[in-house]
Structure 1
Amino acid sequence: MSIITIVTGEIDAGKTRYLHERASQSGTAAWLSVKSLPGYDLLMLPAGGRIPLARPAGTDIPRDWFPFRRFFFNPVAFAAAESCWAAFEGSPPKELILDEVGPLELEGRGFAPLLRVFLSAGSDLTVSVRPSLLEAVPDCFGFSPDRIIHL
């Protein structure tokens, strides 16, 4: 039986750092939204691939990125995340980590398709969620967390 864990905390509480440390464990695969200047990159572990994920409005944004709230998002990053998952070809890792599930995913975009696949993979799953979405995310994706870790 798989265990679902939510890691929560405000911005800069250490969610990504905590998940990065967990990702170093054997049998774990992680998709982390790590800070870069400016914005965020997607870091995929254990492969180590890193790709621009989000940049704030007002910065130099490639034409094919899409706006959402105060950021523009790179659709190539989400496609790369799904391709990285596809490389496991029916042999999922013991634990999957997804950082972060937020308003974009609640609208069915971003990592939402990947999260739905992860929920049916049979692996333990750890996701990061801001405190304001602790009820909305499980309700939207139809799961009940086994554990909530507050940072």
Structure 2
Amino acid sequence: MTARTMWVALLAAGCAVLGGVALFWPEETPAARPGASPAPAAPAAPAAPAAPFASASVSQAVWKTIAYRGVRVDVPEAWEQTDMSACSFNIHQWAPPGAPACSPQSGVVFYGSATFDPAHGPGVRETSSGTWAGYVYAGAFAVYATGTDRDIVQRVLDSAT
């Protein structure tokens, strides 16, 4: 086999692999994009335009900065550190008063980035239950935030340093 024949064979194999990947790559639907909402079941009234990342709850909320092992994050003033002593895993969570312990359903959690195994890439996504969740990496941690207000979750993640 000549060098030219080998290069042509390698090129053809590479094209076949890329074609196969493109053929079986999952198609992105509008609901799968970060920040996208599923199509409404019934016609809805047009929404008033909003400033990016500035819902009424975000702009009216009072915020504080918390720090955990060198990572700083801004959270709503009412959020408090959750007692996780009875949990079967060791995480550190700040959440709204009354949020369940041992279940990061609302608030911010710090996971060691070396052992964090996400189901999707960084950023905010709508969950199957209609809440918002996402993460970013900061220092040695994955900062994971979740809640019912997308803008609050986004602001928490944007503030992580």
TM-score, normalised to structure 1's length? 0.27
The one of the two structures with greater contact order (alpha-carbon pairs below 8 A, sep at least 6) is 1
Structure showing greater Rg: 2
Considering fraction of residues, name the structure with more strand.
1
